[in-house]
């Protein structure tokens, strides 16, 4: 082969791909710059847009919290990036978040990444808009009324007590996070979807738990549905869940009255559809049920695991919880097994503050997604029409001026009421505005019952000390929080 042929071969092998890559990067830069709305005089927020097509999705998925903390330190409370195939502005801080959350339907609208919309489906509450969203939320809220919650209390107490009894016999090491997920899954299956304990074998329950974990791991992935991709795996897991839920729906349709003495959220949705003379849409019901299970067990499992971690690290706080229980007659003596109810739970103010402080430091959901309906101005920058907007819950808690000694676990900070205007968007573990979490009162009741039963029956030691937390997409401990549980002596 002659010298010229070698040069030509080298050019084709090395130089041409390099030139194509540089051209792609330049075109990407031009595409990103062209997103600015020229009719608005304000600049785009600072930030970087990453690699062509992929943007900064891979860094965010792999590094999660480390990536987000680096961005906040470098660019402040509002910055641009490119995630899940879309130009995106990430927003934090009470005042900035207030504009986003109160701008629903006027400035922004909910729009989760394409992978989330594909896996969860267009018929679930999170993906509905305007009148459809309002209508569906009103129906589901019936399942979270105070009367409904009162019906749920003994069911939750029964499941939690049985679970903690197993933990006490588990030996020198128990992995807390997987156990809590199984507990919260059973509770959600019974209360939200009306599954009775006899309906699921341990193997069947474990299969569903594993399917949910696989689906959730792949919720936030690149929108590429090919074998072995994240989206492909997420859809396959979702189909397993849908098949089991459809069995339950058909069983409900064959029965005339609910078995548990109360109507679960799925039953209410079915009755509403039938009562309006509408054709029963099986796909929408399956999507709604899947969303309820996701919201009803993954987030509460994250929060309950964080509660165990914080109380395990701060024994003085645990003792204050026990003192409150003792004052209410819930800790020792003949009332040790006293059945809880809504009135008793509402009196446990300090226990409620422990839950709030846990949600402040470790909110299960790190943020929410919106899309700009028109070019809007925020904090001296423009957010162009059509761009995604992520409001950050965890960062907003971290930077809130309302809280002093932000890194300290101090439930007493919530004992004194804060001015409504300053606190409303500084503490947003359940979001806010029209799309605040539909099940937040259910979550509060569940976590309070869990805390009461834990405090009055168990002592425990965290075997690895303070856990390292990761987001994927729900916050969880990297080591699954190994701990040793022993029975509580009753002495404080």
Nearest to 121 by CA among 241, 272, 276: 241
Q: In whole angstroms, give the CA distance from residue 298 to residue 348.
A: 25
**43 confidence band (pLDDT: 50, 70, 90):** very high
Q: Is the pLDDT of residue 301 over 80?
A: yes
The tokens for 214 are 């696989």
Report how far Cα 86 is from the mean position of its chain's Cα atoms: 21
Mean pLDDT: which of 165-174, 282-291, 304-313 is highest? 304-313
- If DSSP codes are grouped into helix, strand and coil, which group holds residue 195? coil
To 10 degrees, the CA torsion angle through 197, 198, 203, 208?
-50
Q: Is 303 within 8 Å of 393 (Cβ atoms)?
A: no
CB 483 within 8 A of CB 312: yes
What would the mean pLDDT of 178-202 be, rounded to a whole number?
Answer: 81
pLDDT digits (tens, 9 = 90+) for 426-440: 999 999 888 888 889
Nearest to 128 by CA among 95, 103, 99, 104: 104
Predicted local distance difference test score (pLDDT) of residue 221:
83
Mean pLDDT highest for which of 23-32, 128-137, 354-363, 399-408?
354-363
**Is the CB of residue 476 less than 8 Å from the CB of residue 180?**
no
Determine the Cα–Cα distance for residues 179 and 167; give it in Å rounded to an integer: 9
Residue with tokens 């660019």: 75
- Residue predicted with more confidence, 344 or 334: 344
Per the CB < 8 A criterion, the answer to whether 168 and 487 are in contact is yes
Query: Cα angle vertex 308, ends 305, 311, to 5°?
Result: 145
Expressed in angstroms, the distance from the first to the final Cα of the chain is 88
Pick the residue with more confidence: 488 or 53? 488
How much is the pLDDT for 280? 57
Question: Which residues, other chains included, contact 47 with Cβ-Cβ below 8 Å and sequence gap of 6+?
Answer: 71, 75, 79, 80, 81
- Domain residue ranges of the chain, discontinuous segments joined by +: 35-487
Weakest mean pLDDT among 220-234, 293-307, 383-397, 443-457:
220-234
pLDDT at 335: 47
In angstroms, the CA 161 to CA 304 distance is 14
Report whether 105 contacts 226 (CB < 8 A): no
- The class level of CATH for 35-487 reads mainly alpha
* 417 burial via Cβ count (<10 Å: 0-12, 13-18, 19+): exposed
Q: For 169-179, b where at least 16 C-beta lie within 10 A, e where not — what string?
A: eeeeebebbbb
| Exposure letters 475-484 (e unless 16+ CB within 10 A, then b) | bbbebbbbbe
Note the residue count of the chain. 492
pLDDT, residue 236, reads: 93
């Amino acid at each position: 082969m002659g010298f010229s042929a070698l040069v030509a071969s080298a050019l084709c092998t090395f130089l041409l791909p390099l030139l194509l890559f540089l051209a792609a990067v330049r075109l990407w830069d031009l595409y990103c710059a062209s997103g600015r709305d020229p009719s608005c005089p304000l600049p785009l927020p600072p930030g970087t847009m990453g690699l062509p097509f992929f943007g900064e999705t891979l860094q965010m998925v792999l590094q999660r919290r480390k990536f987000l903390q680096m961005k906040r330190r470098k660019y402040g409370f509002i910055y641009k990036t490119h995630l899940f195939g879309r130009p995106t502005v990430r927003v934090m801080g009470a005042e900035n978040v207030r504009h986003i959350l109160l701008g629903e339907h006027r400035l922004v609208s909910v729009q989760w990444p394409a992978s989330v919309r594909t896996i969860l489906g267009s018929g679930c509450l999170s993906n509905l808009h305007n009148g459809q969203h309002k209508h569906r939320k009103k129906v589901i809220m019936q399942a979270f009324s105070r009367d409904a919650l009162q019906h749920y209390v003994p069911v939750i107490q029964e499941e939690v007590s049985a679970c903690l009894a197993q933990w006490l016999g588990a030996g020198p090491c128990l992995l807390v996070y997987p156990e809590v997920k199984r507990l919260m899954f059973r509770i959600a299956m019974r209360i939200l979807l009306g599954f009775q304990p006899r309906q699921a074998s341990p193997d069947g329950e474990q299969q569903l738990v594993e399917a949910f974990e696989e689906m959730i791991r792949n919720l936030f992935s690149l929108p590429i549905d090919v074998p072995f991709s994240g989206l492909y795996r997420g859809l396959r897991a979702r189909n397993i869940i849908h098949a089991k839920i459809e069995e339950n729906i058909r069983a409900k349709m064959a029965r005339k009255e609910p078995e548990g003495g109360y109507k679960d959220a799925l039953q209410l949705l079915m009755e509403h559809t039938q009562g309006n003379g509408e054709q029963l849409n099986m796909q929408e019901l399956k999507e709604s049920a899947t969303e309820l299970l996701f919201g009803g067990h993954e987030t509460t499992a994250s929060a309950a695991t964080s509660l165990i971690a914080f109380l395990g690290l701060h024994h003085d706080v645990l003792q204050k919880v026990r003192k409150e229980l003792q004052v209410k007659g819930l800790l020792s003596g003949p009332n040790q097994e006293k059945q809880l109810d809504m009135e008793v739970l509402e009196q446990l103010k300090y226990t409620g503050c422990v839950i709030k402080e846990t949600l402040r430091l470790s909110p299960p959901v790190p943020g929410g997604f919106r899309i700009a309906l028109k070019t809007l101005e925020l904090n001296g920058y423009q957010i162009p029409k059509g761009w995604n907007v992520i409001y950050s819950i965890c960062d907003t808690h971290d930077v809130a001026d309302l809280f002093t000694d932000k890194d300290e676990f101090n439930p007493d900070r919530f004992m004194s009421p804060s001015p409504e205007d300053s606190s409303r968007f500084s503490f947003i573990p359940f979001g806010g505005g029209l799309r605040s979490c539909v099940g937040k009162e259910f979550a509060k009741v569940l976590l309070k019952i869990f805390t009461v039963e834990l405090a009055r029956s168990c002592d425990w030691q965290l075997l690895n000390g303070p856990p390292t937390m990761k987001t994927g997409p729900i916050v969880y401990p990297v080591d699954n929080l190994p701990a040793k549980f022993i029975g509580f002596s009753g002495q404080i």
